């Protein structure tokens, strides 16, 4: 698929340098596999990796002062975002707006793995339960 969404002459190249960092160790134990603050890359987003093999398990109810995008890369999850309940499977993405309490859990069977993109150069969170 060929795309031509903008005139390349209308954008100035960024002065930021390319960067690389490790998000998680694939052999690490526990559900929180790792986090990478955007500051480490000079980027405006922070990325987290979460995974669990236990149905019903997931992060506690919390809120952020910025938007968050959840990418389900493996398994099935149930997201609670404000008063909405959204079921998502591998390959789907869920949006959590700023200031809206949210959590998610593994629906099973098997592993749930997500990549969570925080629209902030650092992870800022208040737990609600």
What is the per-residue DSSP string for 82-126?
Answer: TTEEEEEETT-EEEE-TT--EEEEE-SSS-EEEEEEESSSS---E
3-class SS string, 53-79: CCCCCCCCCEECCCCEEEEEEECEEEE
In CATH, 38-122 is 2.60.120.10? yes
What are the domain boundaries of the chain?
Answer: 38-122
What are 11-67's pLDDT values in tens digits?
898 888 888 888 888 777 878 888 899 999 989 999 999 999 999 999 999 999 999
Q: Is the pLDDT of residue 116 over 90?
A: yes
Q: Which helix (H) or strand (E) holds 52?
A: strand 46-52
Secondary structure letter of residue 28 according to DSSP? -
């Amino acid at each position: 698929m060929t795309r031509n969404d903008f005139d390349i002459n209308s954008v100035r190249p960024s002065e930021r340098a390319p960067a690389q960092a490790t998000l998680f160790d694939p052999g690490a134990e526990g559900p929180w596999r790792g986090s990478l603050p955007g500051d480490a890359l000079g980027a405006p987003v922070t990325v987290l990796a979460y995974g669990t093999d236990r149905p019903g398990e997931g992060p506690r109810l919390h809120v952020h002062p910025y938007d968050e995008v959840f990418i389900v890369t493996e398994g099935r999850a149930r997201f609670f975002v404000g008063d909405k309940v959204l079921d998502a499977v591998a390959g789907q993405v869920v949006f959590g707006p700023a200031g809206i309490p949210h959590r998610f859990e593994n629906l099973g069977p098997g592993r749930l793995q997500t990549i969570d993109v925080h629209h902030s150069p650092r992870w800022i969170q208040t737990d609600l339960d």
